[in-house]
Amino acid sequence: MSTITTKDGTNLFYKDWGSKDGQPVLFSHGWPLSSDAWDAQMLYFGLQGYRVIAHDRRGHGRSDQPWNGNNMDQYADDLAELIEKLDLKDIVMIGHSTGGGEVAHYIGRHGSARVAKVVLVGAVPPLMLKTEANPEGVPMEVFDSIRAGTANNRSQFYYDLTLPFYGFNREGVTVNEGFRESFRLQGLAGGIKGQYDCIREFSEVDYTDDLKAIDKPTLIIHGDDDQIVPIKATAEKAAKLVKGSIFKVYEGGQHGLAQTQADKFNADVLGFIRG
């Protein structure tokens, strides 16, 4: 397996596929998943001649499971170390859900000198948590229930979570059991402590300043039926904060649209990259 060792001694697993001469497309996954969530994109863009890279966030997938350091500052620093280790330049950064926070915070914390374009899909920025200033957000009780589900029976909780995640709880939608089982397997490959800590990072961290720091062409994609990351609290606000961004709304789209609508998503992202 390909790994790098970060400055604090944590081993991070990553995939580096496709043409080494191709423009790098770097993927950041959502919670509680791993780089495997990007299978459909890694294959597609790799076959298009791009260099495709995806890592397992610390505490997730095949990376180390440290007790401490499971926070967005460290996630962004880990991403910076991977980018520098591989000497990636002219990068297309793509982040889903929590990974969207990771991409935004990387730019806010480390700048955009190595970045060409940004894609945020179902992403959590600017802020998921409901507050007086963010009434469209999600109440803290919901995140507390996610903590409880993760702590007490994450195998069943992750499996149940796939229903709203992929919109399989909507009338007339065909349930894809393969997606459900893959989600649970990816979640269980990670460590419970890192995943538990990460809940705070996707719910309570305010990424407003990070979004304002993005100074590269940006595509924001979000489903208007996203039951996990509400579009009104996140993408609609992010589109106003990232100057000159393109905002695409998938009608009836769910949180896992990069998998359930992979053909459409891949084509839209390819058009954006080439545009």
Catalytic residue among 36, 60, 255, 268: 255
Catalytic residue among 210, 226, 245, 268: 226
Alpha-carbon distance 9 to 31, whole Å? Answer: 23
Cα dihedral 59, 63, 65, 68 sign: negative
Alpha-carbon distance 108 to 112, whole Å? Answer: 8
Alpha-carbon distance 196 to 152, whole Å? Answer: 11
- Of 245, 195, 183, nearest to 217 by C-alpha is 245
Look up 226 and say whether it is catalytic.
yes
Q: Are strands 115-121 and 11-18 parallel, antiparallel or unpaired?
A: unpaired
Please state whether 274 falls in left (phi above 0), alpha (psi between -120 and 50) or beta: alpha
**What are the strands, taking DSSP E only, across the chain?**
3-5, 11-18, 24-28, 51-55, 91-96, 115-121, 218-223, 246-250
Alpha-carbon distance 184 to 243, whole Å? Answer: 37
Catalytic residue among 97, 105, 197, 222: 97
Q: Which residue has the tokens 């229903």?
A: 163
Q: Which residue has the tokens 């538990």?
A: 196
Catalytic residues: 97, 226, 255
